[in-house]
Amino acid sequence: MRTHWFTPWLYVIPALATLVFFLIYPSFNTLVISFFGPQSEKLVGFANYIYCFTNEIMLSAFRNNLLWVALFVPLTVFLGLILAVILDRVRYESLVKSIIFMPMAISFVGAGVIWKFVYSYRPTGSAQIGILNAFLTFLGRQPIPWLIERPWINNICLIIVGIWIWTGFCLVVLSASYKGIPRELLEAARVDGANEYRIFWKITLPLMKPTVAVVATTMFINVLKVFDIVYVMTNGAFSTEVIANRMYKEMFIFRNYGRASAIASLLLLFIIPMIIINVQRFREQEAFR
């Protein structure tokens, strides 16, 4: 479209200005602050970063985020993939999809309350009102303080909440991709005598690979930034700390902006590969004429 040279800028500048003010400038500023003391009064070099990699709670936060990555990412993607394929064969597909997708609509805070109740624990002898411990008691076992039992059980319990929330996202995106595979392709393989298992690994999965990659990177980014679930359910107590919650605490409880900025910068550092992948994928798609 032919326009005056300045016309496009009238349309773009509000967006550009907002992004510069809320994303670009602050990001650079945070990088700078991360080399300064608690209230940015004096330069401290790499001290805040050294703190991140030597402090015990920070190290446990890194370990926990790693556990989140190792369990949350494969399980959400795998569950989403399996459900996308098998739900395609049943008539009540859309109903089950809605059920699994529903947690995406509610807040992580709401989900935190829901699951804190599921995990709720009372000492042996009193009536258990959390369904998990009621079930254990029913089986004649001892109840378990799910969110206190460190370091594995409580972290895994939190990760399950994340999986409950995000599997629906994976399912919806992967299901759309699965339905895009030409049915004749799968039929032809069946006629040739391939079993369903082989078809999944040799045809379905390779064709869905780009979408699986998108979903997996999205889940990876989510997991690095996981905050609300931990903040509401344990607030990092009993070795359940994660990077983003630690950043919040350094910022708001301890008022140490230097350390908080260093933690945020590390978070960005871990996400940068994803930014590059995103931009490259975008260029490959040639979505931009």
Question: Using CB under 8 A, which residues numbered 110 to 169 contact another protein?
Answer: 110, 112-118, 120, 127-131, 134, 164, 169
Nearest distance, CB of residue 104 and another protein, angstroms = 8
In whole angstroms, what is the distance from residue 190 CA to residue 233 CA? 48
- Here's the x/- map for another protein, 35-64, by CB under 8 A: it reads as ------------------------------
Q: Does 247 bind another protein (CB under 8 A)?
A: yes
Q: Which two tokens stand for residue 108?
A: 């992580």
Strand partners, 36: 43
Nearer to another protein, 67 or 171 (CB): 171
Binding segment for another protein (CB under 8 A), chosen from 4-12, 52-60, 63-71, 145-153, is 4-12
- The answer to whether residues 258 and 44 touch, using CB atoms and an 8 Å cutoff, is yes
3-state secondary structure of 205: helix
Measured N-to-C along each axis, helices 243-252 and 257-285 cross at an angle, to the nearest 10 degrees, of 140
Binding segment for another protein (CB under 8 A), chosen from 21-29, 54-62, 66-74, 144-152, is 21-29
Nearer to another protein, 222 or 239 (CB): 222
Nearest distance, CB of residue 114 and another protein, angstroms = 5
Q: Does 268 bind another protein (CB under 8 A)?
A: yes
Q: Does 80 bind another protein (CB under 8 A)?
A: no
In whole angstroms, what is the distance from residue 264 CA to residue 196 CA? 45
Nearer to another protein, 172 or 203 (CB): 172
- The answer to whether residues 150 and 178 touch, using CB atoms and an 8 Å cutoff, is no
Q: Give the CA-trace dihedral at 105, 111, 117, 121, to 10 degrees.
A: 150
